[in-house]
Structure 1
Amino acid sequence: MRSPNVKAQPQDVVKDASMIKQKEMMASHYERLTGAPQTGAKVASTFVPGNLNELIMCFDLVNNLPEVNAIQSGLRKQSGGYIMEAERAGHSEDVCTYVKSDIGMMMKGNIGPNGKQLPNPDVLLLSYTGCFTFLKWFELLREQYKCPTIFLQTPYMADGKITKNMIDYMVKQFKEDVIPTLEEVSGVKFDIDRLREYLAKSAKAEDDLVHVLQSAKNKPSPIDAYFGGIYYIGPIFGAFRGTDDAIDYYRFLREEVDARVAAGKGPVTPDGDMGEEKYRLVVEGPPNYTSFRQFWKMFYDEGATVVASSYTKVGGTYDFGFRHDPSKPLESLAEYCLGVYTNRSLPMRIDMLVNYINEYEADGLLINSIKSCNSFSAGQLLIMREVEKRTGKPAAFIETDLVDPRYFSAANVKNRLESYFQMVEQKRSGKGVAA
């Protein structure tokens, strides 16, 4: 096998060894998931923000994440067809394209990324953390699968603080609804010591993930915290948090990134080691997955590295201090759900982005406004103006979509990026940015 840092031919994609390892982990998970009907394992469908993987594992359930399935379909250029199928069935153009990709995939046989049919879920577990679309999505899935549905209500962080009442409210739901239903579905009795064991493993992996993310404070940054970050967050935001596999992966990733820092190297891109780091950016909003490599190339061709992003916090804001805590297991799960990015108010999001620009010495903020994602896109103009005001650094918009190829205009994105980099250069030269 070629060394992961060797320059590739144009049609090839270079990956760090950690990226290859992550891909293998995700493949093994899908094999376990699609093999559930044969092994007798039961399946819980849930979402990434606020997911309760440690709790799910206590009941021997296999984790299925519908939005990750949509991402995989987008990366494989299959989501466009699924979305059209869902729209022909009556779903609006304005509906989240994750939802339409998932619904369309079900209508076309529910074939997963490994080419095998995904099993019907035995339970739907929604730990609601601020994205209203998830509520409607699970209503559609409940109609389709006719299985038990658990709704864990997470209070919104409107005032920016987690209170004891919030924690108590969620713990009460765990004890009276979530855990009893999971026991009934699985036939497995809840063991809180087993949960504590998984939470301790989560915290260990989370320490190494934070080390990796904060390595971007180096110059040059050894990672791209947006495009490369998609690989890094996969295991911990999905089916591996709380496992030995996650501990091994993040230890491996940390060693790999530390070696790049020691060598003074920037990130690995799909075309090999990145050249000179000319721009350091903070990015708000999800990426486009249907043209992921082309999208990333527009950045590294200009020497732009993303040193921090909000999107890589949708499954946990660990870099602001949270760790799963085995000494208070149910309270810790509640605190985790409360703190994820989608449950944070606009002032909290602005504070986070300002913090990133200052701490990571970024040149400015770039917002990728997603056409069909209200959870991120609502309020982004306010975010942009406030971040500019508080940091003195330029901010700009580009517009794409999650997994709908109809809403990715390469020429438009490229033109806007080039204009933005000109704004950064003007700011550096002291000429300011035109209003």
Structure 2
Amino acid sequence: MSEAVKEPSMLMQKEMIARNYEAITSKHETGRKVSSTFVPGNLNELLMCFDIVNNLPEINAIQGGMRKASGGFIMEAEKSGHSEDVCTYVKADIGQMAKGNIAPNGKPFPAPDVLLLSYTGCYTFMKWFELLRAEYKCPTLMLHVPYEGDGHATKNMRDYIVKQLKEVVIPGLEQVSGVKFDIDRLRGYLRASARAEDNLVWCLEQGKNKPSPIDAYFGGVYYIGPIFTAFRGTEDAVTYYETLRREVQERIDARQGPLTPEGTNFNDQKYRLVVEGPPNWTHFREFWKMFYDEGAVVVASSYTKVGGMYDQGFRHDPDNPLESLADYCLGCYTNRNLPTRVDILAKYIEEYEADGLLINSIKSCNSFSAGQLMLMKEVERRTGKPSAFIETDLVDPRYFSAANVKNRLESYFQMIEQKRQGARSAA
């Protein structure tokens, strides 16, 4: 397969990622401290207040998947006793550690100075950090985020998180880094976050256009990268989202669809979909191609909200810095209950005028996969639009069957066509 064609924003993001890996792996030369933390509910702006470099194990697992290395890492972890049913992000990370723990830049990952866990709906994160703590024996800071079981956050939940930030997380980061916390510095980072978030939301909402100038699932992976990881709160992220917005606007002006990896604009859009669940990373381009070959564009997705529900109105707020961090953690998609997720998906189908809901059920990811059949049936009942179900995995190549996925997609598009014909006949 030829090299994927990339837009300026994608090249900019690639350089940002490379610089971050260089900062992580040059820790011993620079003396900077390194944290390990997760994407949903991460406290990147707070970490920057202590000059701590942010390393994210999920992103490392994704990088391994896209580089076709994760399969070997997973098998290495299973040899040491990890079950086939364990999250493959975890096994990819553990296996990578056993095989030298080499970063994408070819240099070894250093041991983290602190493990920072913002628990947001995925219990596997806690077990993952237990394994990392046993390996690295470094300080571990846990920010417990209450689950929105009743469908909304309360003042008590927010106050509980702020109390932990003040009494546990911030003192712990001060001790690890030797840097005194400066709330005005945090305010500055949050101000930059909000600017970037405004432009991200604008870009995602352009999926309402016909043709859609974006793909909110496969292309969306690139759109959300900086805001979900080690760059939220930086001027680099602000510049990235300004660049992305210009690119999307240019496509709107030219009435063009998103750019495919082959370098062509995807203009012949026959089906508009909302997609639930993460993508498969080991066969990412092949998976994506199955959609645009059939004329299917994703106009909205839940995966682009896993690191923050910005399109629901949330912005990091420099006037209420710690409270804002608490609200961010509480509102992540994986911290929302199933009825709330149904509301979100049904609203996307209506607002983006989608033809239906497609669920990619991830074998080893309970945070997304639990309850998805109920989601599918309820969204279908509420919207009257057909839904479908495919199955892959995150970074385990053994659970990607191209033939099965292709067959199910083709059947689903036939179902949409039948629904359209029925509607025309009734009219």
Taking structure 2 as the reference length, the TM-score comes to 0.98
> Which one-letter code corresponds to 2:320 in the other structure?
K
> Who is 2:250 aligned against?
259
Q: Give the Cα separation in 2 of the matches to 1:58 and 1:129.
A: 22
- Identify the match of residue 407 of structure 1 among 399, 406, 419: 399
Q: Can you list the C-alpha shifts for 1:170-227, whole angstroms capped at 9, x where unaligned?
A: 1110111010000000000000000001000000000000000001110000010000
- Identify the match of residue 100 of structure 2 among 109, 120, 136: 109
- Identify the match of residue 166 of structure 1 among 157, 160, 175: 157
Q: Give the Cα separation in 2 of the matches to 1:303 and 1:12.
A: 22
Map 1:138-149 onto structure 2 (within 5 A): 138-149=129-140
Q: Give the Cα separation in 2 of the matches to 1:114 and 1:57.
A: 22
- Identify the match of residue 360 of structure 2 among 353, 368, 374: 368
- Identify the match of residue 379 of structure 1 among 364, 371, 379: 371
Q: Give the Cα separation in 2 of the matches to 1:26 and 1:230.
A: 14
> Which one-letter code corresponds to 1:290 in the other structure?
T
- Identify the match of residue 321 of structure 1 among 313, 338, 347: 313
Q: Does 1:340 align with 2:332?
A: yes
Q: Give the Cα separation in 1 of the matches to 2:214 and 2:152.
A: 31
> Who is 1:7 aligned against?
none
* Secondary structure at 2:404 match in 1: helix
> Which one-letter code corresponds to 2:17 in the other structure?
M
Q: Does 1:70 align with 2:61?
A: yes
Q: Give the Cα separation in 2 of the matches to 1:327 and 1:96.
A: 38
* Secondary structure at 2:238 match in 1: helix
Q: Give the Cα separation in 2 of the matches to 1:80 and 1:107.
A: 14
* Secondary structure at 1:124 match in 2: strand
Q: Does 1:280 align with 2:272?
A: yes
Q: Give the Cα separation in 2 of the matches to 1:58 and 1:278.
A: 47
> Who is 1:4 aligned against?
none
RMSD: 0.9
* Secondary structure at 2:24 match in 1: helix
Q: Can you list the C-alpha shifts for 1:123-168, whole angstroms capped at 9, x where unaligned?
A: 0000000000000000000000000000101011011112111111
- Identify the match of residue 155 of structure 1 among 135, 141, 146: 146
> Which one-letter code corresponds to 2:283 in the other structure?
S
> Who is 1:184 aligned against?
175
> Who is 2:41 aligned against?
50
Contact 2:361-2:390 at 8 Å conserved across structures: yes
Q: Give the Cα separation in 1 of the matches to 2:222 and 2:28.
A: 28
Map 1:222-237 onto structure 2 (within 5 A): 222-237=213-228
* Secondary structure at 1:125 match in 2: strand
How much has 1:19 moved relative to structure 2?
Answer: 1.4
* Secondary structure at 1:430 match in 2: helix
> Which one-letter code corresponds to 1:287 in the other structure?
P
> Who is 2:388 aligned against?
396
Q: Does 1:86 align with 2:60?
A: no
- Identify the match of residue 235 of structure 2 among 232, 240, 244: 244
> Which one-letter code corresponds to 1:294 in the other structure?
E
Q: How many residues align?
A: 423
How much has 1:431 moved relative to structure 2?
Answer: 6.8
- Identify the match of residue 289 of structure 2 among 268, 291, 297: 297
Q: Give the Cα separation in 2 of the matches to 1:280 and 1:345.
A: 26
Q: Give the Cα separation in 1 of the matches to 2:162 and 2:7.
A: 41
Q: Give the Cα separation in 1 of the matches to 2:359 and 2:274.
A: 9
Which consecutive residues of structure 1, in runs of 5 or more, have no partner in the other structure?
A: 1-9
* Secondary structure at 1:268 match in 2: coil
Q: Give the Cα separation in 2 of the matches to 1:207 and 1:370.
A: 30
Q: Does 1:307 align with 2:299?
A: yes
* Secondary structure at 1:397 match in 2: strand
Q: Can you list the C-alpha shifts for 1:223-270, whole angstroms capped at 9, x where unaligned?
A: 100000101111110010001000000001001100100100001011
Percentage of pairs with the same residue: 74
> Who is 1:197 aligned against?
188
How much has 1:12 moved relative to structure 2?
Answer: 2.9
Q: Can you list the C-alpha shifts for 1:294-353, whole angstroms capped at 9, x where unaligned?
A: 000000001100000001111100001000000000000000000000100001111110
Q: Give the Cα separation in 2 of the matches to 1:129 and 1:11.
A: 38
Q: Does 1:124 align with 2:115?
A: yes
Which consecutive residues of structure 2, in runs of 5 or more, have no partner in the other structure?
A: none
Contact 2:211-2:267 at 8 Å conserved across structures: no
> Which one-letter code corresponds to 1:66 in the other structure?
P
Q: Which stretches of structure 1, 4 residues or more, deviate above 4 A after TM superposition?
A: none
* Secondary structure at 2:59 match in 1: helix
